[in-house]
Structure 1
């Protein structure tokens, strides 16, 4: 599909795909904060919470990307899905490091 046609299809509204990807990014960012706190204080429960938040963010991000039928600007939330996937992987790594540090 030519690029000028993608620009014509831009959806400015908050669609369900965008909402899911934003929610996953939010969960991932909260997990980053909790994971950083777990690393700073050697807190096992916080590290486990960050690990779970990271897995949820990565899974939802991957589902949004897999379900997207169009590229950026089409309203399917693919950009947010990729961001959620990346943030979820970082959060999972922080949670895993926190759990490893407390063991």
Structure 2
């Protein structure tokens, strides 16, 4: 496994974790389970999504070849896409947590 592939894969996994946390935070903000509003989870999802997108973008920008060359360009593009989903879920959960009942 090359460095580019490793960094691209880790960025995609961080973004995937952001999607999971964002979905849970969105569900928590919508249902008002317990005392929490899902704000902390929303911020974590937003941060993980942005981190995945930035890292994925750096991997794609540094890649000198296409898919299969070992530069991690596929992982970078996956991290960009999943990071965008995580950021949107985090943003939606954050917007819902600010609402008052």
CA-atom RMSD, angstroms?
A: 0.4
Query: Aligned pair 1:50/2:45, yes or no?
Result: yes
* Alpha-carbon distance, 1:73 to partner: 0.5
Structure 2: gaps of 5 or more residues: 30-37
Matches within 5 A, 1:1-103: 14-42=1-29, 43-103=38-98
Q: CA deviation at 1:83?
A: 0.3
1:65 CA displacement: 0.2
Aligned residues: 90
2: distance between equivalents of 1:68 and 1:38? Answer: 34
Structure 1, unaligned runs of 5 or more = 1-13
* TM-score, scaled relative to structure 2: 0.88
Ranges of 4+ aligned residues in structure 1 off by more than 2 Å: none
* TM-score normalised by the chain length of structure 1: 0.86
